[in-house]
Amino acid sequence: MSDIKIGVIGGSGIYKLDAIKVRKTHKVETPFGAPSADIMECEVDGSAFYFLPRHGIGHHYTPSEVNYRANIFALKKLGASTVVSISAVGSLQEEFAPREFVMVDQFIDWTKGLRKRTFFDEGMVGHVSAADPVEKSLSKRLYDHCQKAGVKSHLGGAYVCIEGPQFSTRAESKIYRSFGASVIGMTNCPEAFLAKEAGMAYATVAMVTDYDCWKEEHCTVQEIMDVMKSNYVSAQAFIKVAIPDLVKNPVKHTPENAYAVITDEMLRKPHHREILDVILK
């Protein structure tokens, strides 16, 4: 375990940004299998952090194939206590325009049950509140960092997570809008809930690529990719501001997992203890 406390999970393009230098990589074993890729130890302006490409190097895991448990566990095992999730999303509301960032504070999980979503199973039962899945103080600081970096952004909003990899139908998109949700994506559930179970401060920076199909205008995948390239430029400016500040002034966070496990200690198996030794630290 190192002194590095910040973990960034993002798309394949983030670690290629000019502002980031990759110092070395870490191959981390977990009880849940391998994470999406070896975890990169990076630095920006001399400040160190971990980076994990959510979909693997070259983007070869679909949202449903990502090993979310291994990803969060590996970062926690290395010593990270704060997770910044950088994610591409579609907009469900007129005021959240492409190329703008949204610091979401709630999630609506609309996935289909294909994803392993908890560390507490196979004979070990635990419960952690998901009422506030995002660490509010971290989210506010990320919003402030976006402002300083000149990235138009919004503080607060709900993220609908769908299974994918297909985008939603127009009828579905209109239903999600009726929920009052702000953006739609495919990856932040169960990622956010697992970070909560692991006692980590978690926040999402949602990069808007397009309006979801509720809006009566056609948008091609190529057009979305072009906006994503523009968003990566904004992400570079944001990271250059955010990481040094988060390293210098760590997030104050009180984990809510200390009393999560309710299974009798005598019934816990060795692999349960292996899991708890990491996530309860």
Q: Does the annotation mark 210 as catalytic? A: yes
| Residue 42 β-bridge partners | 22, 49
Q: Which of 109, 212, 264, 277 is catalytic?
A: 212
Q: Which of 18, 132, 210, 277 is catalytic?
A: 210
SS (H, E, C) the chain: CCCCCEEEEECCCHHHCCCCEEEEEECCCCCCCCCCCCEEEEEECCEEEEEEECCCCCCCCCCCCCCHHHHHHHHHHHCCCEEEEEEEEEECCCCCCCCCEEECCEEEEECCCCCCCCCCCCCCCECCCCCCCCCHHHHHHHHHHHHHCCCCEEECCEEEEECCCCCCCHHHHHHHHHCCCCEEECCHHHHHHHHHHCCCEEEEEEEEEEECCCCCCCCCHHHHHHHHHHHHHHHHHHHHHHHHHHHHCCCCCCCCCCCCECCCHHHCCHHHHHHHHHHCC
Residue indicated by tokens 């110092």:
23
Distance of alpha carbon 41 from alpha carbon 177, whole angstroms = 39
Q: Does the annotation mark 212 as catalytic? A: yes
Q: Which residues are catalytic?
A: 210, 212
